Amino acid sequence: MKHSFLDQYSQGNSLIHRLDPRTKLITTLFFILVVVLTPISRWQAFALYFVLVATLIIISRVPPLYVLRRSLAIIPFVVLIAIFIPFFKEGEVAGSYNIWMWQVTVTYSGLQVFLNILAKAWLSILSLILLTATTRFSHLLKGLEQLRLPRVMVMILSFMYRYIFVLVDEVMRMKQARDSRNLGGGRLRQLRTVGNMIGTLFIRSYERGERVYAAMMARGFDGQARTLEKPSFSQRDALFALTLGLVLILVVVANLWY
């Protein structure tokens, strides 16, 4: 079975694509930090952040609709966490409703907290999607490694990337095998089948782990992970990091001023 790429648009050749993965990692992190630390009352700042990400997305030539769709996938999680805040936060009442037995009130400060979480989460997600859509996963891993992320974590991420599709295939095959032999039966029995499948999957993954480890040992692996270091920090990277950093600092300073 073939799968779409996890890093679908990462083969592009825009300015953003050509940046060193470390530059992108650090600026993304910095951007998220600044966004999260900006108080929601400064809505002008948020407008600026949005314009900034949108511009970068356009420069990167990743289809905006693709970015939007992927970002929306995250919204439900945020909403789930934040939806009740407007009802419980005390303050000036924005509206009051009677639902069956309950008197429900929504406060302005509650709404603000909700918006705060939503806006910050969305902007952060947009920047992360931009990062992953313009960087090959393998380059991202190299970047993380060069930024001194512990080698074990990089390896775990790299195995995840390598084997997620293999695992998905295995699940699909097991599902097909189950469906082709499924002759109905009660809920309980179906539940038990799913339980068995998960157990089998666990054992198979464990055994694959053993075989992969054997394959690593067969090529001289002794627990010490070695890689080729190839720093390729260019002038372009310095310029990009500097510009973005300055813009963000400007926004923060302007915010403090008003």
Partner 1 sequence: MEEIIRVDNLSFGYPDGQPALSGVSLVVHRGETIALIGPNGAGKSTLLLHFNGILHSDGVVRVLGKAVNEKNLKWVRGKVGLVFQNPDDQLFSPTVFDDIAFGPLNMGYDEAQVREVVAKALGWVGMGGYEKRSPHHLSLGEKKRIAIATVLAMNPEVLVIDEPTSNLDPGSKWSLIELLKGLAITKVIASHDLELVQALCPRAIILDRGEVVADGATSQILADERLLAAHGLARNKPAG
Identify the bridge partners of residue 102 per DSSP, sorted by sequence position.
Answer: 99
Question: What is the rounded CA–CA span in Å between residue 194 and residue 190?
Answer: 6
**Alpha carbon separation from 126 to 109, 130, 187 (Å, rounded):** 26, 6, 41
Residues 112 and 40 sit within 8 Å (Cβ to Cβ): yes
Q: From the CB of 91, what's the least distance to partner 1, in Å?
A: 50
What's the maximum distance between 2 C-alpha atoms anywhere in the chain? 70
Q: From the CB of 121, what's the least distance to partner 1, in Å?
A: 28
Q: From the CB of 162, what's the least distance to partner 1, in Å?
A: 6
Binding stretches for partner 1 (CB under 8 A): 2-3, 5, 137-138, 141, 158-159, 161-163, 165-166, 208, 211-212, 214-222, 224, 226-228, 230
Q: Which is nearer to partner 1, 187 or 226 (CB)?
A: 226
Q: Which is nearer to partner 1, 106 or 131 (CB)?
A: 131
Looking at residue 106, the DSSP 8-state letter turns out to be: E
Q: Which is nearer to partner 1, 42 or 208 (CB)?
A: 208
Residues 1 and 172 sit within 8 Å (Cβ to Cβ): yes
Q: Which is nearer to partner 1, 30 or 161 (CB)?
A: 161
Q: From the CB of 70, what's the least distance to partner 1, in Å?
A: 20
Amino acid at 3: H
